[in-house]
A and B are shown apart, each in its own frame.
Chain A
């Protein structure tokens, strides 16, 4: 019994450690006057939010542009990692270890080093300061996460069910549309969410390769945090978090709906 209380206490401390800073963020975003040494703001107001919604700050356009950029990154990362994950889970071949090492290496090698190394080449071939250049460089840190998730999905699915479909006379396309895709779709959606988050949170890669021409929401937010403008920075941080939550929520609803439809098929 004493044990149980102790566990509860530890958990409570952790939850406070995680949640309290977010609460402070929320209060800051709605404060108008919060001077030292007040523990709570003396006046609440919407100045921060007005600034965000004001068209002269261009924030909403940049937010939508940033979402689009990350969706493009997500799309291309999935397109290239789905076949890769399939190869790694179903086939044994020469050089598999080395290839796996290469695919997971971006987790270990800091993106700062890669970006500075490739920047000059990108300038030479005209990819620097362009949308495509930024998308390309965002894909790199996303690859390991996506492959890891998709690989476990393929391993769970197994190889037999595809082969059975082929034996029963389905052609490759039919097999892919009716068998493989429905089975891996939930995994694809969860890989996609992680990739979206990784891309949406990038700062340095966009900053260097985008060269100030490609402006994402992280870049818009950065100077406010750097200058310590707590009210505006808090507003932008909340918008950032809410955007991610909304995107994840939509993905989860899609998965749920998909499962419900599939159940009708199989049960």
Chain B
């Protein structure tokens, strides 16, 4: 007896919408079971996790602020993964972008400057991330070195390099020799859009999502990305160069990760310090897959994951639920989404007999 998967001929729109909803429903049911097992009131717990983060204007802004770096990076990663380039090093590219932008901030610190400082920092951040992502791209195209390994190893290198910078050359001279840079000047800080923490990072992210969606659906490049990933031989036949595409998608995703990095450093933290990123580069991989490697999907998935993170914090405050429970949830959510999505592509049948 076994499960057999039969490819469906087509998937209706209704099914495509129902699938993630069913996954969410399954996660909520599992959550209720877990809460009851931990001795919590499920209604209050569900409220803390999913309703409280979006229950007022401040909460919605926080979701936007948390989702912005996740979505930015995920959109770039989606382009990579669609074309079979497995960039696992977004975390390192994020840090490199933060460092590149910080270099501009430090170089202009203390002297009167114009409004050009912040755009220069953002551009520097994007370039820094792109340059760092070029390393695994080069190693892959020149030497055939597997980009999973190279991009992952470079994450550690980037972390250690940043550690050295903030403890050594970039250490704040007034900072009691603590490992952090000077606090960025106001011109070097990402401007806010409201009295909450919403900053221009979010509109930038939305523009990026729109551009990426347009590119994937309407341009030849988008078609090329998808074709190279799904049918490499056909792509070669059509004259698309997989190597050039590798350079391009790594550059784009590196740039987006770098941009996210400098937006975090100059936006929420306003200085560079060792534990700048809570693993955004890796969480973004999950977001990319939750979003089915589609820019709009990444946006929705990023928002949803941001809600679970913030909900997890609220649950710690209001219910004393430990952080680990949040992780268990996020893992379960991913499992269910992946499983439900499978039903979109395949019909499952029980078959008696020998295994495949």
A interacts with B: no
